Structure 1
Amino acid sequence: MSETDLIKLYSGRILELAADIPHLGRLDHPDASIKKRSPLCGSTVTVDVGLENGKVTRFAQDVKACALGQAAASVVGAAILGCTETQIVAARDALRAMLKDGGPTPAAPFDGFEVLRPAIAYKNRHASILLAIEASAEACAKARESHTA
């Protein structure tokens, strides 16, 4: 990775997002909690959710990740309240496709993932970028299952 590539990858906007992650912390009495870890870099994200009528009404995240993982968690935190599990799963799948195949940016409200497009070329960063949205999708599924059980 050249110095120019690193500068592009760690743009000012990515660093701004990483420095200001919404909903940091943990929820008291969440409907579900999921912890995800990237084995490649050791980044971890723990997500707590609360659902009402199929929508995320409470959300918190504990993020211990690189700047790219933090920026992705920032996008998730800014967009997730009021979303359905279907929207979150669609955003996860679209982000995967964007990173792996150069696919389109996830739809609003998760279109902030566009800032991470320069990371497409860096496959070793993909797992960290996906942590927050994957944990959120899994937490929503777990919360839904516990509500219907």
Structure 2
Amino acid sequence: MSGDTDLIKLYSSRILALAADIPHLERLENPDATVKRRSPLCGSTVTVDVTVENGRVAEFGQDVKACALGQASAAVVGAAVIGTTRDQVETARDQLKSMLKEDGPAPDAPFDGLEVLQPARDYKNRHASILLALEATLEALEKAEQANCA
């Protein structure tokens, strides 16, 4: 029964509030790049559209079909991503991975809101879903960068 109690604590009211209010859920009409990422373990998917100006995210859209933890992660990413660089997104992804897998600290600002997902450390089967939004965003930024260099 304690496992059920732990799972209930994991889905805190803060995580559920984030999951219910994900920013930038509209797909972009003319993105510089689009990436869809899927977690093979749970089937969660996140599709990200980005436009980039001067090396920073200018516009962002996402379609999120994930568990509440993946949705909460996408909400934090959506709220913080406008104006960030590829390096900032990559650093946030690496820090989130470290937070989940190695008991590292929460990601730096502007992605520091991801600290709400610290209780998910013990639920390894949820990590892939939590990482989807940042991974898709990073891949989209890399694709946009390559397209602009071509």
TM-score by length of 1: 0.99
Alignment of 1:33-48 (within 5 A): 33-48=34-49
What's the offset of the Cα at 1:6?
1.2
CA distance in 2, matches of 1:2, 1:106: 27
- Tell me the alpha carbon deviations over residues 5-24 of structure 1, each in whole angstroms, 9 at most, x when there is no partner: 01210000000000000000
Q: Structure 2 CA distance, aligned partners of 1:65 and 1:88?
A: 20
CA–CA distance in structure 2, aligned partners of residues 25 and 36 of structure 1: 17
The aligned counterpart of 2:100 is 99
Structure 1 CA distance for aligned equivalents of residues 68 and 26 of structure 2 = 18
Structure 1: give runs of 5+ residues left out of the alignment.
none
Quick one: distance in 2 between partners of 1:102 and 1:111? 15
Counterpart check, 1:68 vs 2:37: no
Q: How many residues align?
A: 149
Q: Write out per-residue CA displacement over residues 58-97 of structure 1, whole angstroms, 9 at most, x where no aligned residue.
A: 0000000000000000000000000000000000000001
1:5 corresponds in structure 2 to 6
Secondary structure at the residue paired with 1:2? Answer: helix
What is the root-mean-square deviation of aligned Cα atoms in Å?
0.7
SS at match of 1:105: coil
Give the drift of 1:30: 0.1
Structure 2 unaligned segments of length 5 or more: list them. Answer: none
* Letter matched to residue 20 of structure 1: D
Which residue in 1 is equivalent to 2:79?
A: 78
Give 1:3 deviation, angstroms: 2.1
| Structure 1 moving runs of 4+ over 6 Å | none
Amino acid at match of 1:87: Q
TM-score (norm 2): 0.98
Report the CA distance between 1:25 and its aligned residue: 2.2
Q: Match of 2:130?
A: 129
The 5 A counterparts of 1:39-58 are 39-58=40-59
Query: What is residue 30 of structure 1 aligned with on the other side?
Result: 31
Aligned partners of 2:3, 2:67: CA distance in 1, in Å?
19
Q: Give the fraction of aligned pairs with identical amino acids, expressed as a percent.
A: 68
